[in-house]
Amino acid sequence: MIQMVLLWIERLALAVIVGGGVVMAAGVRPLFAPILAERGNAALVSTIENLSISAWNRYNRYAFLSIVLVIIIDVLRIVAELTFSYWHIAMAIAIMIALLGKLVIDRELQNRLREKSIEAVGSTEQNTGHRRVELLTKIILILAIILTVFPIEILPTF
């Protein structure tokens, strides 16, 4: 019974990561991209960039809390001597590290935007930061989908 409850909580936490990531990548980014591409109104472009970064940052914090919950559940499985997998724990830790990286990059993006305002939007440093965040997002989504598709019972157990 406890294994089933832990599995449902884990599934909910992984759904936050996968669902939120898909919504952010498919909904928020394309919505703001056309506005960020035009350079007409500097104040609007800077505000939209800040909104985009803030929205991603909020998602990243919720996703980080969700993956921490998954890791806690894995630790509970080990302590309670329930079925667990080192692969599952390793992938969850990899997601957590990638989310920490995204949070650090988001802070850099926001600081650069705060300091340089419109000059930061579209700059080489800002674009590099966005590309790194996109790469980390893809890695996180792939790992989270693997964890969602292959429940703990399917992975090799110890």
pLDDT in tens, 103-135: 999 888 888 777 776 666 667 777 788 789 889
Q: What is the pLDDT of residue 152?
A: 63
**Cα 140 to Cα 17: distance, rounded to the nearest angstrom:** 8
Q: Which residues contact 91 (CB under 8 A, 6 or more apart)?
A: 143, 146, 147
Q: Which amino acid is at 158?
A: F
Q: Which residues contact 20 (CB under 8 A, 6 or more apart)?
A: 59, 62, 63
Note the pTM of the prediction, 2 decimals.
0.83
pLDDT tens for each residue of 75-114:
998 898 888 888 889 999 999 999 999 999 988 888 877 7
Q: Which residues contact 32 (CB under 8 A, 6 or more apart)?
A: 48, 49, 51, 52
Q: What is the pLDDT of residue 99?
A: 95
